[in-house]
Amino acid sequence: MQGRRKAREVALQVLYGLNFVNLDVEKAQELFWGNFVAPKSAREFASTLISGTWRHREEIDRLIADCSDNWSLGRMSKVDISILRMAVFEFLHCDDIPPKVSINEAVDLGKTFGSENSGSFINGILDALHLKIQKNHADSSVHPAARPAKA
């Protein structure tokens, strides 16, 4: 979907900017839309991504940190962390988007807007996080009596 790709690009730009300025999310979006245009569908999805990602960033950052061995969030580029946050938001809050699509889109954004290694870096963290989320979901759906006893 071309509209969603454009929405992710817009969301990335706004989320990236929010790393550097102390602005309300709505104000940041107003400033962006005051200077750029996009189709209505892209604008609506971008708004969902921006608002949701920023609102849940503490939870999202904890999840990313748990899956990024040897990389603190402070060491990651602001582009990469913005892309990761957005993809994790999609994992957690956009049930209509398959995780593999979120990963693929994030990797493509990393290759386009990030550094030479951003695509593989983003892919590695998101794959690990997706597996962890799947495992946690599977563990929580098993009845406690059916789980193996811990030693």
CATH number at residue 127: 1.10.940.10
Burial level of 110, CB count in 10 A (0-12/13-18/19+)? buried
Q: What is the residue range of 51's domain?
A: 2-141
- Residue 113 to residue 26: CA distance in whole angstroms: 23
The total of structural domains in the chain comes to 1
The pLDDT tens digits of the residues spanning 100-142 come to: 999 999 999 999 999 999 999 999 999 999 999 888 877 776 5
Instruction: Say if residue 81's pLDDT is above 90.
Output: yes
The closest alpha carbon to 54, from 94, 88, 102, belongs to 88
149 domain residue, yes or no: no
Instruction: Say if residue 15's pLDDT is above 80.
Output: yes
Q: Give Cα 82 distance to the centre of its chain.
A: 7
Confidence of residue 150 (pLDDT cuts 50, 70, 90): very low
148 domain residue, yes or no: no
Look up the pTM and report it. 0.88
97 domain residue, yes or no: yes
Confidence of residue 50 (pLDDT cuts 50, 70, 90): very high
89 domain residue, yes or no: yes
Burial level of 52, CB count in 10 A (0-12/13-18/19+)? buried
